[in-house]
Structure formats: C-alpha cells, structure tokens
Amino acid sequence: MMKLKNVLYSLLFFCGVIQVLAQDTIKLKPYIENMKTVDVFIEGKRYNFLFDTGGSETIISPEIAKTIKKEIYGSTTGFRMSGEIIKAQKSDGISLSMGNTTIFHPTVGIWDLMSILPKDFPKVDGVISLKSFANTILTVELSKNILIIENKASAKKAIKRKSLLPTRFANGLEGGELNIFVGIPKQNKLYWFLFDSGNSGPMLLSNESAKIWKIKKEFQKDNFENNPESEFVIGNKNLKIKPFVRDIIYDGVLNFDAISQYIFTIDFKNKEVWIE
C-alpha cells in the first residue's frame, strides 16, 4: 500500500512539474481593424477580452465581478494617451485562464470598456494587459496572432536569437500598473514610445517629437495618405512608417503594424525585452 502511495505521489508531482514548466501558446482572435481578442475563462465560463499591450491594467467588466460575486471597491486613476482621465474601481483574488495557463490576479481593475467603444462594436468583457503576464517570460508574435508563455528551456532558445532592446517598465501613479516603453534613437537621444498593440491606427508622434522627425503639422488625419514615410530604428531594423502627429502625453506610441514586424520576448522579472 505504501509503495502504491509513493507511486501515486510521484506521478502527481511529475504532472505538477509539467504544468508549471510547460510552454503554452495562446491564440489571438481578430476583432475590429487590427485589434485582437483572446478567450478568457473565469470560473469555467468563457469571455471575450481585448488583448492590449498598452492597457497598463487587466480589467474585467462590472457585470463579471457581480456574476462571480466579487466585491468592487476603491478608486484608481489612469490616463489615455490623450491625457484624458479614466476612473475605475478594483476587485481582488481573481483567476483568469488562457490557453492551458491559469494566472491568479491579486487585483484587477473593474471598468466597462464598452463605455468608450462605438455601440456597433462586438462586445468585449475586459482587457488582458501585460500585467497579467508579470510573473512570466512572454513571447509576442502578432504576425501569427500568438502569445507564447515560455518555460525555462524555451525562453533560453527564444532569447538566444534575439537582440536586447532599450526599454523602460512603468508602474503608473499607484505602482500597480504595467506598461513598457521602447527607446527609439534620434539625433543621439532616446525617445520613449509606448508599446501599444491596441493602437490599431497609425504610429503616433507627439508635437515635440514631430519636430525632431521633421513631420509637418499639415500631415494630419484628413491628409494621412499623403504623409511622408519616416525612419524609426527599432532593434536592428530601420522601419519606414507613415506616422501621425497627435497631442499625446508620450514621445510616441507604437502601433499594431509596427509591433507585428517583429517577434518580442519579454522577461518581466529581469525587466528585459528581446527583439528579432
């Protein structure tokens, strides 16, 4: 009997190790324009969440919080790139499952994303941000619509063929958010661009950055097709893109098209981003 228990214990331990160390590929689904969603399971029920690397906070709708009987409390303040203030609340202790991976979230934001989206957009139930992956090594390959949660062995392989990218990891006003900014060189300075897959429009430059890249103000939205291409050095590539000038709170904002030109591996623990 004791031998049988030992065998069962060993099998259970081995299965647990496989669960922890297994590489997991999560598929992204098309939404509107270039935006992507992902299937998220909460207490066995499937929901449709927007995947947004510029989202700063993982969010569930008030409807979900009430369904799973979670207390909604407190107040948190965020900013859209335009400087517009967004007020949300919080809830604690929620597990979200994607692919074969379940991630426990000590805290998530509570906010109705549909309140700022056009009424004819399909319903989304929340936002998966980079904060959800804060304890992982994550590969983002938007050209194939996949995210890969790496294990130790696969992470070494993923990083080996990539180059290190100058980045900053930002935690927001209250220290509870997570955004990544990519350093793009110009005239012997680094300009910091938000890593924002949720930006389905053009790559954005602030008014100040537009002067450095010599983009004239007349090249605005109504005349966007006539914009000249500008060169942006990201990693080892010189990327030629038509940027759009906006009054934003950052130097610039990367868009889906720019991010999809590369494969990124993000080591959140060591605060490093590797690019191919």
- Residue pLDDT, tens place only, 201-244: 999 999 999 999 998 765 555 556 667 789 999 998 899 998 99
Instruction: Give the residue ranges of DSSP H helices in the chain.
Output: 2-21, 62-67, 152-160, 207-212, 256-259
Note whether 145 and 186 are same-domain residues.
Answer: no
Instruction: Give the residue ranges of DSSP H helices in 34-191.
Output: 62-67, 152-160
Q: What was the pLDDT predicted at 92? A: 97
**Tokens 């590489």 identify what position?**
23
Whether 251 maps to a domain, the answer reads: yes
The contacts of residue 82 (CB under 8 Å, 6+ apart) are: 246, 247, 248, 249
Q: What is the largest CA-CA distance in the chain?
A: 82
Whether 9 maps to a domain, the answer reads: no
How many domains is the chain partitioned into structurally?
A: 2
**Where is the domain boundary, 126, 151, 176?**
151
Note whether 139 and 174 are same-domain residues.
Answer: no
Whether 13 maps to a domain, the answer reads: no
Tell me the per-residue pLDDT of 109-156, one tens digit each, with 9 for 90 and over: 999 999 989 999 999 999 999 999 999 999 999 999 999 999 999 999
Whether 197 maps to a domain, the answer reads: yes
Phi/psi-derived region of residue 235, left when phi > 0, alpha when psi is between -120 and 50, beta in every other case:
left
Note whether 104 and 36 are same-domain residues.
Answer: yes
- Which is higher by pLDDT, 161 or 190? 190
β-pairing, 237-241 with 230-234?
antiparallel
Domain of residue 267 covers 161-275
Note whether 132 and 183 are same-domain residues.
Answer: no
Q: What is the CATH number of the domain that holds 213?
A: 2.40.70.10
Tell me the per-residue pLDDT of 121-131, one tens digit each, with 9 for 90 and over: 999 999 999 99
> How many angstroms separate the CA atoms of 131 and 21, rounded?
20
- Per-residue confidence at 86, pLDDT binned at 50, 70, 90? confident
Q: What was the pLDDT predicted at 217? A: 65
pTM: 0.88
Q: What is the CA radius of gyration of the chain?
A: 20
Q: Is the confidence at residue 1, as pLDDT, over 60?
A: no
Cβ density class 78-100: b for 16+ within 10 Å, e for less: beebeeeeeebebbeebebebbe
